[in-house]
Amino acid sequence: MINEKLEKAFNEQINAEFYSEYLYLSMYAYFERMNLQGFKTWMDVQRQEERAHAMGLFQYLQERGGKVVLDRIEQPKTDWRTPLEVFEDVLKHEQLVTSKINALTDVADEVKDRAAVSFLDWYIKEQVEEESNVSNVLKTLKLICDDKQCLYMLDKELGTRTFTAPVIG
């Protein structure tokens, strides 16, 4: 049976991951409106990853005898001025998620739940990759500025991203 404090922290993270999925779905809709199909694809893959992250935590909590409690999902932002602004928001969001995963791991450490700490190690490593991927796109967007041809080329490149279901844990 999982510690009550840790169960609460897992539920908070599950709900945060579902919010992430919702946020990326909103960004997907923005890029659809902008007719940037590659950016839309990138956000769709990101959305699918967030659902997988949420479900990994969800299943782990259930395996440990915990109770999953789903909460209301806050409405995400729906409008941005530019693709650059979107990716600036993505980086801020991923940094927030990293801090939340670290806080969850701190609770697992505090209650001395070694199994949870081991399980969460995958999420910690995943966040390093998430922030790196977003930073790379952001650097490219800053480099190309308002060059429409370069934006078009980046859109084509981002459209090649595909979702591969992660093996969590």
Q: Which domains does the chain have, with CATH numbers?
A: 4-71+78-158 (1.20.1260.10)
pLDDT surpasses 90 at 90: yes
DSSP string, 88-119: HHHHHHHHHHHHHHHHHHHHHHHTT-HHHHHH
Q: Are 18 and 58 in contact (CB under 8 A)?
A: no
CB count within 10 Å of CB 20 equals 26
Global pTM? 0.96
Kindly report, residue by residue over 40-88, the tens digit of the pLDDT.
Answer: 999 999 999 999 999 999 999 999 999 999 999 999 999 999 999 999 9
